[in-house]
Amino acid sequence: MNELPSREGYLPFAGYRTWYRVTGESEDSGKLPVLCLHGGPGASWNHMEPYTELAAEGRRVICYDQLGCGNSAITAEHDPSMWTTELFVQEVSAVRDYFGLERCHVLGHSWGGMLGMAYAITRPAGLVSLIVESSPPSVPFWLTELARLRADLPAEVEEVLRRHEAAGTTDSEEYTRTMVVFYDRHVCRLRPYPDWLDRTFAAIDANPEVYHTMNGPSEFHVIGSLRDWSVIDRLDRVSAPTLLISGRHDEATPAVVQPFSDRIPDVRWQIFELSSHLPHIEETEVCLRTVAEFIASYD
């Protein structure tokens, strides 16, 4: 990856601090900044690192660790019930205000795409375009697709997973080791993982509270507060032009993504045939080109 100028720091939010990294120094004439929303919930910005290359076009790319995640971890005593979609929507607004992003593109991956969609539904001023990568508009329907994908796993793999989920021992080494079979098929099909993806998983392992509270113990066992989350009935409120990205082998299957395509007024969708849940990592060059061309058309 090219060396681009960047700076890091903290901004105040909700009585705590949100860590950020800005790549690029300013916008060239006719360019707008990109605000990136990482996945999880509870991950870190690291897996969004390939998108910092968009700054080479003459625009800033702003990434941040959402509150409670990565460099924005909270060490003071707090109530885990604070981790809600509404809190993180407010944080998007706080980041925009801090950097004076009067007009910008918003790009979210997985949970970040869900967050971006929840934000777009509020019709915020200056949201020029929205990019949603590998995200479900309805977690309940997504769970039915995850069950279908799990049914295709080797029987002995599914037996281990089900046994630990029933026993509440999903923190066991055997469960962690076995769930990788699903991840290899439907999360990231590259081996070895790129360094920035390893750092993202390490951030969740080091501080799993947000992930476990909102999602659950794994990508395919969603028992947290997001298990009933859906925005399907509000997608017609999204007024920003929207690009959908997903992988052919994605845990967010084409059937999961379809309602976005059906219900958002101004939308286009590209499925990456060699990718699962991380097209920007699994097919980096073509994915970044697709995003770059899309945002350039709305600058």
Residue 26 has pLDDT above 60, yes or no: yes
Percent of the chain scoring above 70 in pLDDT? 99
Average pLDDT over residues 86-90: 98
Query: CA 211, CA 70: separation in Å to the nearest integer?
Result: 12
* Domain-located, residue 166: no
Residue 4 has phi, psi (to 5 degrees) of -115, 145
pLDDT given at position 176? 84
Confidence band of 175 (pLDDT split at 50, 70, 90): confident
Whether 103 maps to a domain, the answer reads: yes
CB pairs under 8 A, 24+ apart, for 290-295? 290/243, 290/245, 291/51, 291/54, 291/107, 291/131, 291/243, 291/245, 292/54, 292/57, 294/129, 294/131, 294/243, 294/268, 295/32, 295/34, 295/54, 295/105, 295/128, 295/129, 295/131
Residue 186: inside a domain = no
79, 92, 101, 110, 194 from 40: Cα distances, Å: 19, 15, 24, 7, 17
The confidence score (pLDDT) of residue 1 equals: 53
> What total of structural domains would you count in the chain?
1
What average pLDDT score do residues 85-90 get? 98
* Active-site residue, 233 included: no
**Residues in Cβ contact with 132 at an 8 Å cutoff, skipping those fewer than 6 apart:** 108, 113, 116, 117, 242, 243, 244, 245, 260
C-alpha to C-alpha distances, 243 to 51, 199, 200, 275, nearest whole angstrom: 15, 27, 24, 17
Q: What is the mean pLDDT of the chain?
A: 95
Entry pTM = 0.94
Q: Which domain holds residue 241?
A: 6-146+195-296
Supply the CATH number for residue 83's domain. Answer: 3.40.50.1820
State the catalytic residue, choosing from 72, 105, 109, 110.
Answer: 110
Catalytic residue among 38, 105, 212, 277, which? Answer: 277
CB atoms within 10 A of CB 104: 24
Q: What is the pLDDT of residue 148?
A: 94
Q: Is 135 a catalytic residue?
A: no
From residue 123, alpha-carbon distances to 117, 210, 233 in Å are: 10, 26, 15
Tell me how crowded residue 105 is: count the other CB atoms within 10 A of its CB: 27
Structural domain contains residue 267 = yes
Q: Is residue 179 part of a domain?
A: no
Q: Per the domain annotation, does 173 fall within a domain?
A: no
Cβ 118 vs Cβ 85: under 8 Å: yes
Catalytic residue (one of 47, 109, 164, 250): 250
116-151 pLDDT per residue, tens: 999 999 999 999 999 999 999 999 999 999 999 989
- 110 is annotated as an active-site residue: yes
